[in-house]
Structure 1
Amino acid sequence: MDQAGVSFGRLSDVPKDQIIAHMSDPVTVAHMPLAGMVWTDEVCAAFVATKVACWDRDGLGHWAIFEDGRYIGWGGFQKEGEDWDFGLVLRPDAFGRGMAVTAKALDFARADPRIPSVTFLLPPSRMRLAALRRIGAVEEGESVIEGTRFRRFRLMTPSG
């Protein structure tokens, strides 16, 4: 997977209008059952503040994702109980870069002794799972978040 040109940065450095446009795109939110709100400046500011708070609390969180300096989405690791969950939300014009971004993030996770494994929570509407299985993630059941069911997969890292 070609990771060339992919970099991670601070979500707070992305202009709000880019995040709002991204998170308001119906193609983006088609598989995001918890993202049903209207994205305003206030909603965006609260979203970014929540992601920054994860970094402050856990020393890790979600990044802004860039390709050759252009914002293509956000994603990273968020502590969910004892698990480090990986989430990735790309702009529709960057959907084909998902595995390259994931590979770069997993390189980070494998090098971080705090992360014995990574979980992936996917809505039942996600049917294409071959890439997740190819990297070694194993389905281990379901999780319910805010009343919504997700399929849970786990990938062990070298520290796990």
Structure 2
Amino acid sequence: MPLTHSNTITFVRLPNIAPDEIIQHMSDPRVAEHMPLLTFEWDYETVAKFISTKEQCWARDGLGHWAILCDDIYVGWGGFQKEGTEWDFGLVLKPDCFGLGIRISKKALEFAAADARIPYVTFLLPPSRKKLGALSRLGAEHVGDVTYDGAKFLKYRLDTE
């Protein structure tokens, strides 16, 4: 997909995306490179469980992960998930759409800044991620390392107020 500044980014709920799209996306080895918890194969059952889990977050917290579209084409998923008392922001794009990451993140963070429930967001990144300049430019600060489901992550925090 040719990316320009005129591409329209929209957020929709994950059930609006065909399971085949998500399977193809999450089965790409370039996606798994930076997802240490992705140790299984994606199939229709996995997608159904994934979507159900993410929809439960919406029901419980009134917020969750979206499917992300660029000019009405699925480019990945991401959004906010409550982890204890913190709102964690995650973003998983198709490899040919990695260049949209900062634009999508800024749009999502504008959403967070307008939501009084979210005074700050956290980001958990695997140590394999070496290009972290965009987080710094957004104003995020490294607050330490955490272990989540047995994997180490770099934890960043960004105030939204």
TM-score with structure 1 length normalisation? 0.96
1:124-135 correspondence runs (5 A): 124-135=127-138
Report deviation, 1:115: 0.1
Residue 95 of structure 1 aligns to a residue whose secondary structure is helix
Q: Which runs of 5+ in 1 are unaligned?
A: none
CA distance in 2: counterparts of 1:127 and 1:34, whole angstroms: 18
Match of 1:19 in 2: 22
Q: Cα deviations across residues 78-120 of structure 1 (Å, max 9, x unaligned)?
A: 0011110000000011000000000000000000000010000
Instruction: Report percent identity of matched pairs.
Output: 54
User: Shift of residue 29 of structure 1?
Assistant: 1.2
- 2 CA distance for matches of 1:130 and 1:67? 24
Which is further off, 64-73 or 35-44? 35-44
> Where do 1:1-160 residues align within 5 Å?
2=5, 4-158=7-161
Q: For 1:154 and 1:16, locate their aligned partners in 2 and report how far apart those are by CA, in whole Å.
A: 32
State the alpha-carbon separation in 1 of the partners of residues 7 and 110 from structure 2. 14
Contact 1:65 1:72 in 2 (8 A): yes
How far 1:28 sits from its partner (Å)? Answer: 1.1
SS of aligned partner of 1:9: strand
Cα offset, 1:143, TM superposition: 1.4
- Whole-Å Cα distance in 1 between the matches of residues 131 and 95 of structure 2? 16
Instruction: Name the SS of the counterpart of 2:156 in structure 1.
Output: strand
**2:160 is matched by which residue type in structure 1?**
T
Query: Using a 3 Å threshold, how does the CA distance of structure 1 residues 139 and 3 change in structure 2: closer, same or farther?
Result: farther
**1:123-146: CA deviation from partner (whole Å, max 9, x where unpaired):** 000010111001100000011111
Whole-Å Cα distance in 1 between the matches of residues 22 and 129 of structure 2?
A: 23
TM-score, normalization by structure 2: 0.96
Runs of 4+ in 1 over 2 A off after TM superposition: 1-4
Between Structure 1 and Structure 2, how many residues are aligned? 158
